[in-house]
Structure 1
Amino acid sequence: MADSEAGAGRDGAVRRVAIVTGGSRGIGRSAVLDLAAHGVDVVFTYNSEAGAADEVVAEARKHGQRVSALQLDVSEVDTFGSFVEEVRAELTAWGTDRFDYLVNNAGIWHTASFADTTPEDLDRLYAVNVRGVFFVTQKLIPLLRDRGRIVNLSSGLVRFVFPGKAAYAMSKGAIEPLTRYLAAELAPRGIRVNTLAPGATATDFSGGVIRDDPNYRKRVGEITALGRPAEPQEIGSVVAALLSDDMHWINGERIEASGGMRL
């Protein structure tokens, strides 16, 4: 994942920095750990689980990287200005004024039939999964290094259909055109932007049903070419891969990591 334009640390060594939203659990946690394992310093956000965030910091630092956690509710757009100042302070403490990679992972889940979904449900989904991604990216872009990279998390449910997921899939679907527009608008700075769309993954989303319910896992396996749901680390590693120099000519694309669900 070398990048000749990454910032230099106080010891003179080249250091790269990622910002990951929603990094205290699930796919975000795995992305933080995988990036640290690849030699990337990480600032990640958490909403309310400070203890879980502390555990991720401790585990990621075992790789010898600088890692810190900042509290952020991505639905609270009015707080983004102060959040950016916290990021700026953290970068300054690390001897740089720019970061290299942004992973927009923070999001919320919703399961309900179309008939039972309320305006409040939809507003909450869009506040976190759409508006939050849009404006946190807008606020952070001035600190993103030229030739930096952005990965936005969507969902396999944008392509295939499961009952009760319409509202959630709509909110994630909005991320995909945003990715393409960002790829075009940020191209003069050499910034590459892609969408990663995970399939069913064994996290605590939706009460951990994919992780903990054998019958649900069996149903997922029956419609997945590889025969099972993903483990979080299998998606975290794809995040790191999309940010790497090996993928330098991939831009404005939707990459699905679903193990071949509903082919």
Structure 2
Amino acid sequence: MENTNKIALITGGSRGLGKDMALRLAEKGINVVVTYNSQADDAQNVVSQIEQSGQKAAALQLNTGDTKSFEAFTETLKQTLTDKFGTDHIDFLVNNAGIGGYKMLDEVTEDFFDELFNIHFKGVYFLTQKLLPVLNDGGGIINVSSGLTRVSLPRSSAYASMKGAIEVFTRYLAKELGARGIRANTVAPGAIMTDFGGGHLRNSEQSQKMVSDNTALGRPGVAEDIGGVVAFLCTEDARWVNGQRIEVSGGMAL
């Protein structure tokens, strides 16, 4: 266990991809703080599972789309780190929290656009900025993007545009934080069967068939396909991976 005292903060860690990331990080000996927006019980369940495995964990409420709450969140985080982990810094920030949103261009309202923008880009940008003083030198940032930045599917123009912005932002993070030894990478999941976007893939056999037909490995992804890649990026094995977009899609639309 190389990372016994390292700590990762994962936004949106109560279920789906974030939950699997948290559990896989704990398997690597990394302590975890997860944030949740409304699913407090689910988040506490993740904490319990991690604690049973022998690692430390905590759950904090955060709406990643509300930048005005970040100041108070950062103070709560620092207090939690001091009380529960005996430190006031984290080593890894995983910007995972997100919502689905699918509309044709002519159906997109400003409110719909703004909600996606606030959660998927503005929130990620300013939460990362706010947490830079709390992030240890030599640590890492992982931003979650989407296969939809590379493969264009109708109804995803707004969502995918925000994720495209995240990919550019990640490269700039890598450049600007390199002097502190902090790495920044993007993980881009393909189509995954979770609650995401109202479980639209999981609930549609037609969508699953379309995904399977267009994926080299012949099936849609599941949450358990993603967490281990994020965990790997938080280990010494990935110390020379920086500024990269790693797609985890089973070979979709090759």
Q: TM-score, normalised by structure 1?
A: 0.94
Aligned to 2:215: 224
Counterpart secondary structure, 2:42 = helix
Alpha-carbon offset, residue 142 of structure 1: 0.3
Deviates more, 1:91-100 or 1:192-201: 91-100
Alpha-carbon offset, residue 233 of structure 1: 1.3
Counterpart secondary structure, 1:174 = helix
Separation (CA, whole Å) in 1 of partners of 2:151 and 2:161 = 12
Counterpart secondary structure, 1:149 = strand
Map 1:75-90 onto structure 2 (within 5 A).
75-90=65-80
2:105 to 99, 114, 133: 114
Separation (CA, whole Å) in 1 of partners of 2:44 and 2:240 = 35
Separation (CA, whole Å) in 1 of partners of 2:233 and 2:29 = 15
Cα contact 1:39–1:63 (8 A) shared by 2: no
Separation (CA, whole Å) in 2 of partners of 1:106 and 1:219 = 26
Counterpart secondary structure, 1:229 = coil
Aligned to 1:6: none
Cα contact 1:202–1:210 (8 A) shared by 2: yes
Aligned to 2:89: 98
Cα contact 2:2–2:29 (8 A) shared by 1: no
1:171 to 134, 159, 162: 162
Aligned to 1:245: 236
Does structure 1 residue 233 correspond to structure 2 residue 224? Answer: yes
Amino acid at match of 1:200: A
Separation (CA, whole Å) in 2 of partners of 1:127 and 1:37 = 32
Deviates more, 1:137-146 or 1:213-222: 213-222
Aligned to 1:17: 7
Amino acid at match of 2:60: L
Aligned to 1:59: 49
Separation (CA, whole Å) in 2 of partners of 1:202 and 1:100 = 29
Separation (CA, whole Å) in 2 of partners of 1:135 and 1:240 = 23
CA offset digits 1:16-71 (Å, max 9, x no partner): 10000000111111101111111111111000111111111111222111111000
Map 1:140-155 onto structure 2 (within 5 A).
140-155=131-146
Map 1:31-70 onto structure 2 (within 5 A).
31-70=21-60
Separation (CA, whole Å) in 2 of partners of 1:168 and 1:77 = 19
Percent of aligned pairs with the same amino acid: 49
Alpha-carbon offset, residue 143 of structure 1: 0.8
Amino acid at match of 1:116: E
Deviates more, 1:49-58 or 1:137-146: 49-58
Does structure 1 residue 201 correspond to structure 2 residue 192? Answer: yes
1:29 to 16, 19, 41: 19
Separation (CA, whole Å) in 2 of partners of 1:71 and 1:97 = 18
Separation (CA, whole Å) in 2 of partners of 1:227 and 1:60 = 32
Alpha-carbon offset, residue 2 of structure 1: 2.4
Separation (CA, whole Å) in 1 of partners of 2:201 and 2:107 = 22
Aligned length in residues: 253
Does structure 1 residue 188 correspond to structure 2 residue 179? Answer: yes
Amino acid at match of 1:92: T
**Structure 2 unaligned regions, length at least 5:** none
Q: TM-score, normalised by structure 2?
A: 0.97
Cα contact 2:100–2:198 (8 A) shared by 1: no
Alpha-carbon offset, residue 215 of structure 1: 2.4
Alpha-carbon offset, residue 76 of structure 1: 1.0
Alpha-carbon offset, residue 213 of structure 1: 2.4
**Structure 1 unaligned regions, length at least 5:** 4-13
Aligned to 1:9: none
Separation (CA, whole Å) in 2 of partners of 1:188 and 1:2 = 23
Does structure 1 residue 162 correspond to structure 2 residue 162? Answer: no
Counterpart secondary structure, 2:78 = helix
Separation (CA, whole Å) in 2 of partners of 1:209 and 1:248 = 36
Separation (CA, whole Å) in 2 of partners of 1:52 and 1:212 = 21
